[in-house]
Structure 1
Amino acid sequence: MPDHISPQETALRNAISRVREEGVESDREALLLWLVRNQLGLGAAESYENVFPEHSTTVGDLDGFAVSEERGVVALNYVLLRKSAEEMRLAAAALGAHLRSDADEDNLIYSQPRLRKLVGNALREAHGERVRRVVCVVDTTLQRPQKNKVRSAAPEGVVTEVFDHAFLASIAFAEGSSARPDTVTRISNPGEERLPLRLGDSRGLVLPVDATAIATWDGIEDGTLFDLNVRFGLGMNRVRRSLDVALTDEDVADQFIAFHNGITGVCDSFEEHDDEVIVRGMSIVNGAQTVVAVAANADHLAKGIQILLKIVEAASSSTLAQNIAIRSNTQNPVTSRSLQALDKTQVRLKKQLAEFGYQYVIRPGEDVPNPERAIENDTVAQLLCSMYLRKPSLAVKRQALFEQPTYEQLFHEGLDPAKVAFAFQTRRVVDTLRSEAPEIYRRAWALTGLTLFFMTSEALRSDPDWNDAFENPSRMVRDDAALRTRLLPVAEAALSVLEERADRDAEEPDDFKVSFKQARTLSDLGALASKAWRVRKRAGE
């Protein structure tokens, strides 16, 4: 045991511990769940079925699988977890044998019930192209030659991403930090090639930068160079593959700067000198894929490629920095949640919920002095979708809730902040029953808790005595203790339905990680919870 544990290692351990708190049984499963959520954009409630048991019987001995879609590309993500580089190289090669073509991959998927279920209709309904991606998670720190060996194990046309222990720890550290890196970046550039920008009380600069210099910037591999809005959306898509080709094409090297949009960064400060610009605390907010592609192709860059850099001085917490980060990314793989962070409804709710004593968190990385009174807007989206839209099967898909038309249905101009507080308090009551829930359901509490919340909501909706509080909860939410006291027996009635389900299915394991995301099952559970509450209420009268 080392005497000193790095902040990165501490962050990774904390990330795994947070997932374990959901009832997940092993560090292995917790690590994989954290990774697929963090890197593939899956919501906590929907991710459990994407991680496979340790001794999986799938072809290729997969540890996980997920389908992601972005910008016309359907990515099939095959996740492998191994203890060493050599084990991973062999595993990636064995899996790659089944991924040489679309036909080979189809044979793999449709011969495996688990994969077939997860793919669903994504391939049949896809109008764009398909990407095969192998996500290699190695539980040790690798050197660059070892990573290259793993990457080369998969056949041509398969994207191979290597996450060794050090990289995972760096991602965890970056995820928990909104601070910019404490770096100094020196950019060689003659003064006559710069364009100064005057931005009110701030200032900026536009200048061409050699691609070979960009490849050496600190913070690319661990993601700390990139703003929180973009650092976790850097997967392979059509744009990235086009960049790989263009960056290595000698015939168009001198034209690259003309047809590429460039890179945008915000920084703490910059200094201009005759032959260089010194930038302190730089964070890339647009063009992150370009920076990653440049670094990945560092050994093969076409000579003479330059890329336009726009750099702006702005404090990380300033409105200017947030506007640049969000509004410059409408065409890039930024999460829908981040794009909506400055929506007027989000800003209004933040102010109004503060009057109820809550901190409404609308952006990753915000400081949260009192977690007990903090409400994250993606959690709110799930609760509103379940309670008021009555679409619990949609509620598990966190990112989809911030896309139109669902976003407008949830966060419309007339949304009463008291409804947000009411839904939040209802979920808090549901969470107090976690220890009483059947053990099998406690193993995936993010999903079970959301399901039980929906069931409780349906029971409330069916009770005329709750009609006013359900639709106009402003007065009730000002007394948290009284509200929770009234909500508790309703939630307990809903829980009794899950207890009966667990008892009934004791001899045959309940595949709830799938069924609790299906509209028909959820509708039935909601109806049973309403009935259970009516029976319990009559018995108490």
Structure 2
Amino acid sequence: MDTTSRTTLDEAFDSELTGDRTPSAAMLAWFLLHVERLDPELVPDAICDGRGDKGIDALIVDDEQSEIVLFQGKRMESATKTQGDNDLRHLLGAANYFVDEKAVEGLLASKPNHELRNLLTRNNVAQKVASGYKVRRLVLVTNASLDASAQGLLDAVSHQEPTLDVWHQDKLVAVAERVRRADLREETVSIRPATPVIAVDLEGEAKMAIALVRAHELVGLPGIEDLTLFARNVRLSAGNTRINKELAATVADPKEHALFPAAHNGITVLTNGLTIGEADIRLNGLSVVNGCQSLLALHRGRGALTPQLKILVKIVELPSRQSYISDTITYRANNQNAVNIRDQRSTDGIQLGLYRAVREEFGGEFEYVIKIGQTSQAARTLDNTLAAQLITAVLREKPWAAVRKVRLFDQDYHNIFAPDVNAHVLFLLELVNEACNVSREHLEGELKSAFASVRFTVAALVADVLRLSDRGAQLLADPSAWLPAKQQEVLSWLSERARDVVGNINGYVVDAATEAQEEKRDFDAKTVFKSASGIAPLRREIATVSRRVERREPGYLFDLAPSRL
């Protein structure tokens, strides 16, 4: 393998190296996301890579096609090692475990690792095979090139079923290059803000700076003329459109300059390193992912710029290895999805009413986002999909149902967005969300990589702790008595309890796994958060612990006096 290809693949795979995933499992996670295009929330549940996996490193059950797909991953540490036919033969042999129900039961009886056992049980594979499900595809994923023996075996079984599909170095590099985020420009630049800088800590290690910046500062950024500054932007120049003509006219008219930031959505910049000084903001590397049209218009009309023309700038520092943050920012800043049920709901009375109520109550401090492409200059925003999930977990007390995104805006819509959901409730839910995001770093092992489902259990358990005190229950019922006046105190309490809840979850999972091992039965941590019965013992335990701590340390439960009665 050449050095460039190896680096490309390592960077791609390691973006999924989270929690207790091995390098091989990270490669499979990346493959399931970008080649199989599996929902990110389902990826952790599909992987069973580890000692005793019987040659099966991942498994997907496709209920629409009544088929089972088996995956094996071979990530070579040596750049010179090639992929032989031995692993291919093992994968072909693994299909025999699924020829009938008896074979699956034999696999379960052969004491596979707990991840594979749990995966088979969780997906009811034995029963589905009995009902006619078949293994129709076998997929080997390797970062090495195939040797002659491997290629010969592939040719020999090319017309057999199940089909054997091998994703080797060259095929993976081609995908990695297509889905790879464009590099940031490497320069270190300094920007002088025209207003005080708002610094915001985001998920994990990421942080953001927000400020108004004079246009003179921005038109000198490197990469505008050759468009390399906008490499991560889906669109570059849109041409001489009506909007661009109006933008050019605004830039040319000095009387319009003072109002520019009030009528403009601003720009978003990604950087690898962000330092906020007394007089400037220093960026180590940069790329503009939203605001291409505006910067190009400002650059073209730079001769007419005045000090009064300012623009809102959001600068986001990207944490190492957490590519999902960059992908999320870039995707949401640039893409429009096909119309779905959530989009259709964006114009109904409930969503429009909540959107307007939030604006009236919170102005530019907090905004409720009800449609894709909606931009905001608010310090805090809450997307209505996430809002629906948090309502389900916190108010309806069903965190296991929060991941069913399709149902949230369909069958369950009116139950979720019931009359008790108002602007202040949405603001409280955003604070709960922020507290949960902070707590993620305290999750251990596979729980961190499965945060997409665990987060809603954390939110529900924090709400449970709130309900243990009169004022906590009142906060959930009528947040307006505390918010926004006491938002920092409320957020501080929520963050502390979220960390405590996560600590209890970590301990609960460890104890449950140990007990299961001693009793020689299976324990699947991932199923704990997917049913009412799964989290019931955890809810009881956290309630008991919280009451005990309150007796020992009065004030542990929520007892903050409201700002108004």
TM-score tier by shorter-chain length is 0.5 to 0.7
- In the alignment, residue 342 of structure 2 is paired with which amino acid? Q
- In the alignment, residue 338 of structure 2 is paired with which amino acid? I
Q: 1:20 aligns with which of 17, 21, 24?
A: 17
Aligned to 1:357: 366
* Greater radius of gyration (CA): 2
Q: 1:135 to 1:507 in 2, by over 3 A?
A: same
Aligned to 2:532: 519
Aligned to 1:203: none
Please give the alpha-carbon distance, in whole angstroms, between the structure 2 residues aligned to 1:136 and 1:124: 23
Q: 1:423 aligns with which of 424, 429, 437?
A: 429
Q: Does 1:326 align with 2:343?
A: no
Please give the alpha-carbon distance, in whole angstroms, between the structure 1 residues aligned to 2:476 and 2:510: 32
Matched residues, percent identical? 15
Q: 2:74 aligns with which of 75, 78, 82?
A: 82
Shift of 1:384: 2.8
Please give the alpha-carbon distance, in whole angstroms, between the structure 2 residues aligned to 1:149 and 1:409: 56
Shift of 1:522: 0.5
The 8 Å contact of residues 378 and 398 in structure 1, kept in 2 or not, is answered as no
- In the alignment, residue 93 of structure 1 is paired with which amino acid? L
Structure 1 segments unaligned to the other structure (5+ residues): 183-315, 328-337
The 8 Å contact of residues 132 and 159 in structure 1, kept in 2 or not, is answered as yes
Please give the alpha-carbon distance, in whole angstroms, between the structure 2 residues aligned to 1:317 and 1:446: 18
Q: 1:469 aligns with which of 462, 472, 475?
A: 475
**1:17-47, Cα deviation, whole Å (9 max, x unpaired):** 3x334x2342222232344455363453x54
Structure 2 segments unaligned to the other structure (5+ residues): 76-82, 111-116, 183-231, 237-330, 518-522, 556-565
- In the alignment, residue 121 of structure 2 is paired with which amino acid? K
**1:376-402, Cα deviation, whole Å (9 max, x unpaired):** 55544433322122222233x455545
**1:482-523, Cα deviation, whole Å (9 max, x unpaired):** 321232343355345336536745855664233333421312
Q: 1:128 to 1:120 in 2, by over 3 A?
A: closer
3-state secondary structure, aligned to 2:479: coil
Please give the alpha-carbon distance, in whole angstroms, between the structure 2 residues aligned to 1:28 and 1:371: 41
Please give the alpha-carbon distance, in whole angstroms, between the structure 2 residues aligned to 1:405 and 1:136: 39
- In the alignment, residue 68 of structure 1 is paired with which amino acid? D
Alignment of 1:408-447 (within 5 A): 409-410=415-416, 415-437=421-443, 441-442=447-448, 444-447=450-453
Q: 1:368 to 1:134 in 2, by over 3 A?
A: farther
Q: Does 1:158 align with 2:165?
A: no
The 8 Å contact of residues 356 and 478 in structure 1, kept in 2 or not, is answered as no
Q: 1:341 to 1:28 in 2, by over 3 A?
A: farther
Please give the alpha-carbon distance, in whole angstroms, between the structure 2 residues aligned to 1:30 and 1:473: 41
Q: Does 1:54 align with 2:50?
A: yes
Aligned to 1:9: 8
Aligned to 1:540: 554
Shift of 1:117: 0.7
Superposed CA RMSD in Å reads 5.0
The 8 Å contact of residues 358 and 373 in structure 1, kept in 2 or not, is answered as yes
Q: Does 1:66 align with 2:65?
A: no
3-state secondary structure, aligned to 1:517: coil
Please give the alpha-carbon distance, in whole angstroms, between the structure 2 residues aligned to 1:105 and 1:150: 25
Aligned to 1:252: none
Q: 1:119 aligns with which of 111, 118, 123?
A: 123
Q: Does 1:451 align with 2:457?
A: yes
Q: 2:493 aligns with which of 480, 486, 491?
A: 486
Q: 1:3 to 1:129 in 2, by over 3 A?
A: closer
3-state secondary structure, aligned to 1:424: helix
Alignment of 1:215-226 (within 5 A): none
Aligned to 2:252: none
Deviates more, 1:345-354 or 1:484-493: 345-354
Please give the alpha-carbon distance, in whole angstroms, between the structure 2 residues aligned to 1:80 and 1:370: 46
Q: 1:378 to 1:76 in 2, by over 3 A?
A: farther
Please give the alpha-carbon distance, in whole angstroms, between the structure 1 residues aligned to 2:43 and 2:90: 23
**1:170-219, Cα deviation, whole Å (9 max, x unpaired):** 5565386996699xxxxxxxxxxxxxxxxxxxxxxxxxxxxxxxxxxxxx
**1:297-345, Cα deviation, whole Å (9 max, x unpaired):** xxxxxxxxxxxxxxxxxxx9999x95xx625xxxxxxxxxx55334326
- In the alignment, residue 48 of structure 2 is paired with which amino acid? F
Q: 1:370 to 1:28 in 2, by over 3 A?
A: farther
The 8 Å contact of residues 74 and 129 in structure 1, kept in 2 or not, is answered as yes
Aligned to 1:94: 93
Structure 1 length-normalised TM = 0.55
Shift of 1:62: 0.3
**1:240-297, Cα deviation, whole Å (9 max, x unpaired):** xxxxxxxxxxxxxxxxxxxxxxxxxxxxxxxxxxxxxxxxxxxxxxxxxxxxxxxxxx
Aligned to 2:342: 340
Shift of 1:74: 3.0
The 8 Å contact of residues 100 and 130 in structure 2, kept in 1 or not, is answered as no
Aligned residues: 383
